[in-house]
Structure 1
Amino acid sequence: MASPLLFLAAFSLLLSTVHPKVIAVELLSEVKLSSRILQDSIVKQVNENPKAGWEAALNPRFSNYTVGEFKHLLGVKPTPERELLGVPVVTHDKSLKLPTTFDARTAWPHCSTIGRILDQGHCGSCWAFGAVEALSDRFCIHFGMNISLSANDVIACCGFLCGSGCDGGYPISAWRYFARRGVVTEECDPYFDDIGCSHPGCEPAYPTPKCVKKCVKGNQLWKRSKHYSVGAYRIRSNPADIMAEIYKNGPVEVSFTVYEDFAHYKSGIYKHVTGGVMGGHAVKLIGWGTSDDGEDYWLLANQWNRGWGDDGYFKIIRGVDECGIESDVVAGFPSTKNLVHEVADMEVAETASF
């Protein structure tokens, strides 16, 4: 008979394959929160570390940001256990032969959304951005539709079921919202804050936009603009399963823990070197590869515009669950629901043009 300790060890290993690892953030002092997020000392510590594997810099995106303002962008809340009940965990056939390098941008070159780098502004809406970006890509991959879906719809209209809007939310709940309520296009409901925190009134409240349920263009209908997903699921926390999911179905949304040094990322393969925990962040995972030095990495698109990182992208070490990057991977399939309206509208437009 197995000992209780062996049983607990096995049970803990099982949980680690399906449970997110975004770390709860400690409260920081007012002095720390009001200090600048970008520090010469962090750049120096990373760049002088021969084992770092990446280059740090004072990224223009955060040139005027305090620690408090940076923390607010990290909007992934630790997912409550109840939100995970009934969510399937997907695994893939281990016999699938995967390429050593993969980039969704080149795998599906006709899908323009895959290569877009967006900007979440000053709102803690990363949980919604990662979701709408991945679903937009999947509509193109599976249905040949180049559409950009609205993060604004999810942030403003999902309400408490998704979390707290600009004060953070749960990635899996965004995918559930797509299945339950659908999400309109960006053309119908554009993002409320496309100029970041340079306008009056954006501090310190960081207000969540109001749910209007009306397209900005009068000739578009909110309900007809809705696009749906088929359910929501998580991918087993195993690199091979995550790779197979992207290879077969398209980009996914991932969450991970952000430390102070991540704000300084410029190029290379990130791994945490220095600085305290800032919060949980969600981004879009689009590929993988191996460096010339033989280090495996993930390739991801962030939504902090192109003034941050490697033209808006970053790489992080693959296979060791760095910062929990492999522990909370979520996605869903695009649905044909409501698309009949879109096809009918296109046919009417084509007929009218003759």
Structure 2
Amino acid sequence: MKVTAFAFASVAATKQSILTLTAEEKAVLGAELAKWEQDFGTQALARGLLPHTVRMESRRSEVDIHDEKLQRLMDTKFQADLAQIQNPNATFDWNNQFALLNEDEFKAFASTSLNQEGHVHSQIDNAEQEVTVSSTRASSVDWTSRCNPPVRSQGICGSCWAHAAVGVAEAAHCIATDQLLSLSVQEVTSCSTDGGSSGCNGGSPDHAITYVAKQGLCLDSAWTYNGQTGSCGRQCEKKKLSIGAVVQVSGESALVSALNSQPVTAFVESANNVWKNYKGGLVSQCPGAHSEHVVIVVGYDNESFKIKNSWGTNWGEEGYIRLRRGGGGKGMCNIADRIAFPKLSGGPHPPSPSKPSSQPSPSKPSSKPSPSKPSSKPSPSKPSSQPSPSMSPSEPFSPMSPSQPFSPSQPFPSMSPSQPFSPSEPFSPMSPSQPFSPMSPSQSFPSMSPSQPFSPSEPLSPMSPSQPFPSMSPSQPFSPMSPSQPFPLMPSFRSSRDDVDFRTHPSMSTSIHSPSMSTSKHSPSKSTSKTFPSMAPSEHMSTVEPMTSMSKRGCSGCNACYYPGENSCLRGFSQQECNDYSANYDTMWCAN
């Protein structure tokens, strides 16, 4: 047997046990694990993406811990191969930040659920839900190069609903005024509570859009995203946006018609191995039928819808995913089931010919489109405020009945420490970030260069909360560069899914009443104790608080485990754990 062909014999085969591997095959898998730890180890640790190994009365040996990681890695490779076979026009890669999470753990991490009892009826007249249907329809539309803020990363906070609502409000205001602003996602996360919204525990994008339209929003420079629910007490100047009432529709035809005018929010099914391992291409099969995540739909062509996620730019096609169009019903991954967007005030500017690329473009957003032809690869082409070439009669919107609120079915997994970050570049948990400088309302987003550290557009962790892992004390500090020194499975952090202090950009907004809203909340799925004993009953679990940034280096003000690499205080670590990590990370115990 060739060394490279040992993991997955066929799709029908069951997951392979590492006990069946030869010594040579196990050595190859061990080398892959060592490379993963080097590339993703610190990132996964900081984002709470490392499961916590349960130690019974006797401490587990380093060999046992290493073997468990090997088994988890091999299982993820199997899942990625299976997703690849089911989706031949897409690309999947096991080598990502989620590689050591099993199916149940990722499902709990990325999941939210609909709270059928929490449905809130809209106070808006039916007339407010009417939408003007364009008499023509473009063959393709792509908003990724016009009125499109950088991809954000929500971290381990379940605030996908707030990110999506703010994103479509920013785009709508830009389309109406040619002014792209960065609004405060944190204000919506902390202050928008209608419809059952509860900060990092989930919320309603529909009600959030209404909040923005009625209240206005602070610029992000005045109230930056910190990945926590927080309190609604910040004093800052609120900006009014050129947006109106929220509109709710459903169906692919209505989705296409809406995209001719602006980006929209949508609920999707994402807690599966397809989304976990997605790298690029067209998804044609989506396991599951339960919507638990909110995203922004930014375009379409003859075969696909383009989706903007809030898991950072290291995921998918620089933060985007393409789903097959034309399946009818709720659409691929339920993309056409529950759609919402704000009305434009003042109307969009005249269109300009612009066709989208099949992949996102890293080009700097501008307030006006420029012509370009569609291609199968990313291009800096800029979409127009309205569809242009290849027009055909469009189908009318079909307003949908009030949606049900999104609420969590289970608590979230304990997640990892929060770190400040900026919106465009990959999240680098082990080095401090630089906040964005405030911008005036007339300014557009600062250009983001891929080399910039810590941009809030980079991935943190996905959307939804999962159950915390049982506590344990690492027997040996993490050393990603040394395959012989295993990477201890660390505890995740409880409560909010993305407790990371992000640095985004300025922002603005406006308000009005909304139709029946949907609420998104994170629900942990139960993990199996077979492959992951750490998902045992809660009495075996301990919660680790997020890292707290220090104003200056040293133990001063920490009173816990101090980590000089990030100038941060690791609260929730025991003195023994702190000392264990000292050799590799220079951590020091500062408590009295």
- Of 227, 244, 249 in structure 2, the residue corresponding to residue 230 of structure 1 is 244
Please state how far the C-alpha of 1:141 moved relative to its aligned partner. 0.9
* Whole-angstrom distance in 1 between the partners of 2:310 and 2:215: 24
- d(CA) in 2 for partners of 1:167 and 1:238? 28
Provide closer, same or farther for how the CA distance between residues 36 and 131 of structure 1 changes in structure 2, counting only shifts above 3 A: farther
Query: 1:57: which partner in 2?
Result: 93
1:324/1:257 Cα in 2 relative to 1: closer, same or farther (>3 Å)? same
1:44 and 2:86 equivalent? Answer: no
Shift of residue 244, structure 1, vs aligned partner: 2.0
Any idea what the Cα deviations from partners look like across 1:168-220, whole Å, max 9, x if unmatched?
Answer: 11111111212332222211211113xxxxxxxxxxxxx52222322xxxxxx
SS in 1 for 2:326: coil
Looking at structure 1, the residues matched to 254 and 291 of structure 2 have their Cα atoms a distance apart, in angstroms, of 26
Aligned equivalents of 1:41, 1:69: Cα separation in 2: 15
Asked whether 1:192 is paired with 2:229, we answer no
What amino acid sits opposite 1:231 in the alignment?
A
Return the structure number with greater helix share.
1
What whole-Å deviation, never above 9, does each CA across 1:109-156 have from its counterpart, x for those lacking one? Answer: xx3xx1511100110100110110111111111111120111110111
What SS is found at the alignment partner of 1:287? strand
Secondary structure of the residue that 1:319 maps to in structure 2? coil
| Aligned twin of 1:179 | 213
Q: Given the alignment of the two structures, is residue 264 of structure 1 paired with residue 277 of structure 2, yes or no?
A: yes
Q: Which residue of 1 aligns with 2:530?
A: none
Any residues of structure 2 matched to 1:267-346 within 5 Å, and which?
Answer: 267-274=280-287, 280-290=292-302, 296-320=303-327, 321-333=331-343
Identity %: 21
Give 1:306 shift: 1.0
Q: 2: distance between equivalents of 1:57 and 1:278?
A: 24
User: Which residue of the partner structure matches residue 209 of structure 1?
Assistant: 230
Q: Deviation string for 1:258-299 (max 9, x for gaps)?
A: 23121111111123355x678611111110013xxxxx2101
Corresponding residue SS for 2:253: helix
Could you tell me whether the CA contact under 8 Å between 1:184 and 1:226 is conserved in 2? no
Q: Tell me which residue corresponds to 1:97.
A: 136
Equivalent runs, 1:51-90 vs 2, <5 Å: 52-58=88-94, 60-63=96-99, 67-68=104-105, 71-75=108-112, 77-78=114-115, 80-84=118-122, 86=124, 88-90=128-130
Tell me: CA distance 1:168–1:135, structure 2 relative to 1, closer, same or farther (3 Å): same
1:239 corresponds to: 252
CA displacement 1:240-265 (0-9 Å, x = unmatched): 322222212x1111111223121111
299-308 vs 162-171, greater mean Cα deviation: 162-171
2:191 corresponds to which of 152, 157, 160: 157
2:504 aligned partner: none
**Gap change, CA 1:117 and 1:171, over 3 Å in 2:** same
**Equivalent residue letter for 2:220:** E
How far apart are 1:36 and its partner, in Å? Answer: 6.4
The one-character-per-residue Cα deviations of 1:82-112 (angstroms, maximum 9, x if unpaired) are 244646544553x722222211134x3xx3x
Find the aligned partners of 1:127 and 1:136 in 2 and give their Cα distance.
14
Partner amino acid, structure 2, of 1:55: T
> Is the alpha carbon distance of 1:167 and 1:77 closer, same or farther for their aligned partners in structure 2, counting shifts above 3 Å?
farther
Unaligned ranges ≥5, structure 2: 1-51, 54-70, 347-439, 443-592
- 1:146 aligned counterpart, secondary structure: coil
SS at match of 1:48: helix
* Whole-angstrom distance in 1 between the partners of 2:195 and 2:237: 20
Any conservation in 1 of the 2:283–2:322 contact (CA below 8 Å)? Answer: yes
Considering only aligned residues, what root-mean-square deviation do their CA atoms show, in Å? 3.3
Q: What are the residue-to-residue correspondences of 1:1-16 with 2, within 5 Å?
A: none
Provide the rounded CA distance (Å) in 1 between the counterparts of 2:100 and 2:225: 22
TM-score, normalisation: structure 1: 0.67
CA contact (8 A) 1:73 1:126 kept: no
Could you tell me how far apart the structure 2 residues matched to 1:330 and 1:78 are? 18
Q: Are the aligned partners of 1:75 and 1:169 in contact in 2 as well (CA < 8 Å)? A: no
Alpha carbons 1:91, 1:241 under 8 Å: kept: no
Distance in 1 separating the partners of 2:258 and 2:187: 26
Measured after TM superposition, the shift of residue 328 of structure 1 is: 0.5
> In 2, Cα distance between the equivalents of 1:345 and 1:47?
45
Contact 2:141 2:259 in 1 (8 A): no
CA–CA separation in structure 2 for the residues paired with 1:334 and 1:36: 48
Distance change in 2, residues 1:116/1:61 (3 Å):
farther
Deviates more, 1:317-326 or 1:164-173: 317-326
* Compared CA separation, residues 307 and 61, structure 1 to 2 (3 A): farther
Residue 157 to residue 42, structure 1, CA distance change in 2 (3 Å): same
Cα distance in 1 for residues equivalent to 2:224 and 2:155: 13
- Mapped to 2, the partners of 1:173 and 1:212 lie a distance apart of 19
Contact 1:228 1:334 (C-alpha < 8 Å) held by counterparts: yes
8 A Cα contact 1:75 1:126, kept in partner: no
Question: How many residues matched?
Answer: 273
**AA partner of residue 135 (structure 2):** L
